Amino acid sequence: MAIRVLVVEDSGFFRRRIMAMLDSDIRIEVVGEASNGLEAVAQAERLGPDVITMDIEMPIMDGITAVRKIMASCPTSILMFSMLTTEGARATLDALDAGAVDFMPKRFAEVTSNPDELSRQLCDRVAALGKNGNPAVRQISRPAAAEKPAPKIAAAPARTPVRKGRHSYQLIAIAASTGGPAALPRVLSTLPATLPVPLLIVQHMPANFTPAFAQRLDQQCAIRVKHAEDGDALLPGTALLAPGGKQMTVERRGHLGVVRIQDGDPGLNYKPSADIMFSSVAKLYGGNVMSVILTGMGADGREGARLLKQGGATVWAQDKESSVIYGMPGAVAKANLVDEILDLASIGPGLAQVFH
């Protein structure tokens, strides 16, 4: 059965192009269109689509308000189109907070200069979102209100590793893609400011978006969340978010671990890449790593997780039911590389228990 899509866009030109791209894919059926948020809410309730593509800036009712109303009345997988600006990044994060599960950059130039690649990306995203259906949307898109974060404390550079059984954990490494901007706050907001180890996070996201995302996570969490810069020290209770468009690795500098932020191989599919981050962490920390693979499209993280497991590290993966896309966690699970498969609501408390 084809994935039923509602297209919401105030630009008639862009709306027609999106519809034509989606209609060209046999997996997808465009069942309706809307030119503003008010129409989108009415069409969503009337048509019950599997996926909605949604613009942010529209007359009468903006896309963020429309997302909130749709998620309250008829939860649906919503893909936002976002401008690649600082304001566009903040608005997109607002839309993800409201319940949208994914976004794509809105590049008008690509409609004419590279339509085939844009069409492939759009159709693959929509097909992946539609394949999972609404249960994951209901679980991930409306997180429970977190308590006010505890005041952040200054981290000391040296602490005794946390010992759990045969492990002496020195680091948490987390990877996510589609659905990650909603999943990561659920996980990180449960961790205490006194967390005795540092965290590294790879979230597939454009370069314009990661600074705003790090800032938002920092506001939502008791731990400190920082947009990683080259040479940043790995400190207890501090999470470093890999910059979009760059690769993040780790190295030893004196008695401290530090991150290296570099361009990396231009031929790589993902920037940042979970495989590259995990591989670097495995080389430096061996089995003393707790790694977590969250919701995401593709298989980034699988080969890095393989190296982590070979070194004796622990690998957790999010389960299929709570994932927006079960690509990344499913890939490591299928490869028999996971120690635990957990629903999203259990991952944060599980980490807090390990490191209490």
Catalogue the active-site residues: 177, 204, 300
**ω before 206 within 30° of 0 (cis)?**
no
240 beta partners: 200, 226
Whole-angstrom Cα distance, residue 236 to residue 183?
Answer: 22
Contact between 51 and 5 (Cβ < 8 Å): yes
Whole-angstrom Cα distance, residue 33 to residue 47?
Answer: 10
Whole-angstrom Cα distance, residue 190 to residue 325?
Answer: 23
Give the tokens for residue 353.
Answer: 């228990």
Question: What DSSP letter does each residue of 207-238 carry, written as one string?
Answer: TTTHHHHHHHHHHH-SSEEEE--TT-B--TTE
Contact between 6 and 34 (Cβ < 8 Å): yes
Give the tokens for residue 50.
Answer: 């599997």
Looking only at the bridges linking them, the beta strands covering 256-262 and 77-82 are unpaired
φ, ψ at 309 (rounded to 5°) = -65, -40
Q: Which of 225, 21, 307 is nearest to 5 (CA)?
A: 21
DSSP 324: S
Whole-angstrom Cα distance, residue 200 to residue 274?
Answer: 10
Whole-angstrom Cα distance, residue 213 to residue 131?
Answer: 27
Whole-angstrom Cα distance, residue 156 to residue 260?
Answer: 20
Neighbours of 219 (CB within 10 A): 10
Q: Answer left, alpha or beta for residue 179, where phi above 0 means left and psi between -120 and 50 means alpha.
A: left
